[in-house]
């Protein structure tokens, strides 16, 4: 038995009230559709998943990422019609299909695997995922006969009052034998209410054909949450955040207040790191061991070494070696690389710069397009004036230099090894090693008795 996953993403997202398809809206740091794609991949399908797209197809293609195939449903004629457009691509590829929706981001890979295994073990033609909810409003109901066998699924809009009182709902995930599916799709009849072809009608069709139909109940009913509104998006975000945070705590990370820590799906955190409240760890951030992050920190696509501290600061696209201390209220921008034991304090900003070991920039300043050596002191108020209105220019500060408070380094410029600048200097020319300069513009201190 070979499998291919099919993800339906051609809906109009009417209730979401957005100019963009709902399935590309971010959820726990990645587009909603990516959750279904990654879950199917993790479930073990050997073929790349197929996504059925509709309006705004280019946006959905971009959000889905690589390793995905697409077919387009030209007009919104229902879920049954959407799957039909995948037939030319899949007819000869797999014996069974796993069909799901791009707006079901909470279904776990192990749930998909359990559905596939039950479908195979019971030799079913159609196996559907179900759940029992205390409030099933809005979901299609699963109707069973007196023997407990599934006989059909009825959408809420077409359900009788008795059927609406049923608590077992159809999640919208199906395992189905392909050889039966393709001709069965051609036999679907339009809904009398909306005129659409419903995938749910396959259940009654399979029963009428005498084909075995099975149901697998969800172990966690939260997985059944479909995202059709912004309210449901927020609820899905809450559930995913809770899952992510629980995972990292089980991996040895301390979250001081898990309800106030936001960790993206792609992040990696080392053991014995402590994350304080109101911290956001986004994108492909990597954090080492024994770090202290937060409170009030934002890390975005950052790489943090071991034993680092990032307190109340923004670190985006920057790389920190071991034992680096940042903050509070610092901003490290893309291209920044801090070596071991660098200290960056309050209201300091660094962009596209390399800073050597043990260098200190304790407060108030800006380094842009700079290369700074080891054991350098960057005094308060230091600014690299790297932009002339047209181009960016580099600043080089060599090992052991001392940059006095309020120094303006007008790039391109180099400060030599062990050189010093006096407070308030405007440095427009290279400073030789072991030389003190001061003034506006900065000049070397004259030899004793020459004045």
Do 166 and 131 meet the contact criterion of CB atoms below 8 Å apart? no
Cite the annotated binding site for UDP-N-acetyl-alpha-D-glucosamine by residue number. 8-11, 22, 73, 78-79, 140, 155, 170, 228, 333, 351, 366, 377
The binding site comprises 8-11, 22, 73, 78-79, 103, 140, 155, 170, 228, 333, 351, 366, 377, 380, 386-387, 405, 423
Assess contact for 417 and 373: CB atoms under 8 A.
yes
Whether the bond into 328 is cis, omega within 30 of 0: yes
Average pLDDT score over residue span 300-325: 98
Predicted pLDDT at 94: 83
Cβ(252)–Cβ(267) below 8 Å: no
State the residue for tokens 């986004």. Answer: 282
**CA 232 from centroid of its chain's CA atoms:** 18
Six token digits for residue 242: 């809770």
Give the CATH class of 230-444.
mainly beta
pLDDT of the residue at 13: 81
Residue 46 confidence class, pLDDT cut points 50, 70, 90:
confident
Which distant-in-sequence residues (6+ apart) come within 8 Å of 262 by Cβ? 241, 279, 280, 281, 282
Instruction: Say if 3-224 and 230-444 have the same CATH topology.
Output: no
pLDDT tens track for 81-136: 999 999 999 988 889 999 999 999 999 999 999 999 999 999 999 999 999 999 99
Instruction: State which CATH number among 3.50.50.60, 3.30.420.110, 3.90.1150.10, 3.90.550.10 fits the domain covering 3-224.
Output: 3.90.550.10
Distance spanning both ends of the chain, measured CA to CA = 93
**63 Cβ neighbours under 8 A, 6+ residues apart:** 23, 24, 31, 33, 34
Contact 257, 241 (CB under 8 A): no
Give the pLDDT band (50/70/90) at residue 448. Answer: low
Residues tagged in the binding site annotation for Mg(2+)? 103, 228
**161-170 pLDDT tens trace:** 999 999 999 9
Domain spans of the chain?
3-224, 230-444
β-bridge partners, 437: 421, 444
**What is each CA distance from 40 to 34, 107, 139, 223, 444, in whole angstroms?**
10, 9, 23, 14, 67
Q: What percent of the chain has pLDDT over 70?
A: 99
Active site residues per annotation: 363
**What is the tens place of the pLDDT at every residue in 201-232?**
999 999 999 999 999 999 999 999 999 999 99
Give me the torsion for CA of 244, 247, 249, 251, rounded to 10°: -140
Residue 357 corresponds to which tokens in the numbers above?
């070991």
pTM for the model stands at: 0.90
Helix (H) or strand (E) holding 244: helix 230-250
pLDDT at 256: 98
Cα-based distances in Å from 188 to 10, 81, 191, 202, 203: 19, 9, 9, 7, 11
């Amino acid at each position: 038995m070979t499998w291919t996953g099919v993800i339906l993403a051609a809906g109009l997202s009417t209730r979401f009230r957005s100019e963009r398809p709902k399935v590309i809206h971010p959820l726990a740091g990645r587009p909603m559709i990516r959750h279904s794609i990654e879950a199917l991949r993790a479930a073990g399908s050997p073929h790349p998943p197929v996504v059925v797209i509709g309006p705004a197809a280019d946006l959905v293609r971009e959000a889905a990422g690589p390793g995905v195939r697409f077919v387009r449903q030209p007009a919104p004629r229902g879920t049954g019609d959407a799957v039909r457009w995948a037939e030319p691509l899949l007819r000869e590829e797999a014996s069974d299909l796993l069909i799901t929706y791009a707006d079901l981001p909470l279904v776990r890979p192990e749930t998909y695997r359990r559905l596939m295994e039950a479908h195979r073990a019971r030799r079913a033609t159609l196996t559907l995922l179900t759940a029992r909810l205390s409030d099933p409003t809005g979901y299609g109901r699963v109707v069973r006969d007196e023997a407990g066998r599934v006989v059909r699924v009825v959408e809420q809009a077409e359900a009788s009052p008795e059927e609406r009182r049923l608590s077992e709902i159809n999640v919208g995930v199906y395992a189905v034998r392909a050889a039966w599916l393709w001709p069965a799709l051609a036999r679907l009849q339009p809904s009398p209410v909306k005129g659409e072809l419903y995938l749910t009608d396959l259940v009654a069709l399979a029963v009428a054909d005498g084909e075995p139909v099975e149901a697998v109940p969800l172990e966690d009913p939260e997985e059944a949450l479909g995202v059709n509104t912004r309210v449901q998006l927020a609820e899905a975000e809450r559930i995913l955040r809770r899952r992510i945070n629980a995972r990292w705590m089980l991996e040895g990370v301390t979250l001081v207040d898990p309800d106030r820590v936001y960790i993206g799906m792609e992040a990696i955190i080392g053991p014995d790191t402590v994350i304080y409240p109101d911290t956001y760890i986004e994108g492909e951030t990597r954090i080492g061991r024994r770090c202290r992050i937060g409170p009030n920190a934002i890390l975005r696509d950052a790489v943090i070494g071991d034993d680092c501290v990032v307190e109340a600061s923004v670190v985006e696209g920057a790389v920190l070696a071991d034992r680096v201390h940042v903050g509070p209220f610092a901003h490290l921008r893309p291209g920044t690389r801090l070596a071991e034991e660098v200290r960056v304090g309050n209201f300091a900003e660094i962009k596209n710069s390399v800073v050597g070991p043990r260098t200190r920039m304790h407060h108030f300043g800006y380094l842009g397009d700079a290369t700074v050596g080891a054991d350098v002191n960057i005094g308060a108020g230091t600014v690299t004036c790297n932009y002339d209105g047209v181009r960016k220019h580099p600043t080089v500060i060599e090992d052991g230099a001392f940059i006095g408070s309020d120094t303006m380094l007008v790039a391109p410029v180099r400060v030599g090894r062990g050189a010093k600048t006096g407070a308030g200097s405007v440095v427009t020319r290279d400073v030789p090693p072991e030389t003190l300069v001061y003034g506006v513009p900065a000049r070397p201190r004259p030899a004793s008795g020459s004045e």
